[in-house]
Amino acid sequence: MAKVGSCNGQALRAIVLGSASPRRRELVQLLGLELPVRIEASDADESIPPDLAPADAAEWLALCKASNVRERLGAEAEGTVIIGADTIVVLDGAILGKPKDAADARRMLGRLQGRAHEVITGVAVVDGSTGRHKTARSVTRVFMKPLDDERIARYVATGEPLDKAGAYGIQGLAAGFVERIEGCYFNVVGLPVSLLGELLGEFGVRTM
């Protein structure tokens, strides 16, 4: 069972998750933490520098989010460990983020169907007291079944894909779209649990 830990000799009071995603909150709880988890959504600028490779972009965005939350918390960040995460979908070397609208979601799914793509989640953990940080990434290869336009349109009409990178949720109604994956399932949902546990351990946070 996880115990209340310490970071740099200072007792930890809380874990701060820099995300409003209910999926990420549920996945963090799978680590069996005894420390309370506080939700503080980031409002960081998520514009990716054009010279940044997709694999690096996910880690960069995760650190931007965690650092933004630490800055906004100010003195309240003392005694906390802050988690940032960002998930991107990469196809043919190009990043597919969240769709702008339903038409964009249909376009994304039309490109993904019948092909393999990569889902990359960058994770950042920041010491709220000192700013010390660690980042890492998890990469999962997803093989999607062929989908016709009518099936894609029906899925998009549910509204589910509009807040998801790549315009689909493997844990939701799009579960049947996926033929197989190579890598971490939780990474595709939005947070690689095992990797996060390893990073938290470097900051004195014990997990199950």
pLDDT in tens, 126-177: 999 999 999 999 999 999 999 999 999 999 999 999 999 999 999 999 999 9
| Residues involved in catalysis | 86
Which residues constitute the domain of residue 102? Answer: 6-201
Number of domains in the chain: 1
- Residue 23, pLDDT > 60, answer yes
Q: How far is residue 124's CA from residue 178's CA, in Å, rounded to a whole number? A: 28
Residue 57 lies inside a defined structural domain of this protein: yes
Distant-in-sequence, close-in-space partners of 37: CB < 8 Å, separation ≥ 6: 14, 15, 16, 17, 25, 28, 29
Residue 206 lies inside a defined structural domain of this protein: no
Residue 97 lies inside a defined structural domain of this protein: yes
Residue 26 lies inside a defined structural domain of this protein: yes
Residue 208 lies inside a defined structural domain of this protein: no
Cα–Cα distance list, 129 to 44, 73, 126 (Å) = 20, 11, 9
- Residue 72, pLDDT > 80, answer yes
- Residue 89, pLDDT > 70, answer yes
Residue 74 lies inside a defined structural domain of this protein: yes
- For the entire predicted model, the pTM comes to 0.92
Which of helix, strand or coil describes residue 108?
Answer: helix
Residue 1 lies inside a defined structural domain of this protein: no
Residue 186 lies inside a defined structural domain of this protein: yes
CATH number of the domain bearing residue 107: 3.90.950.10
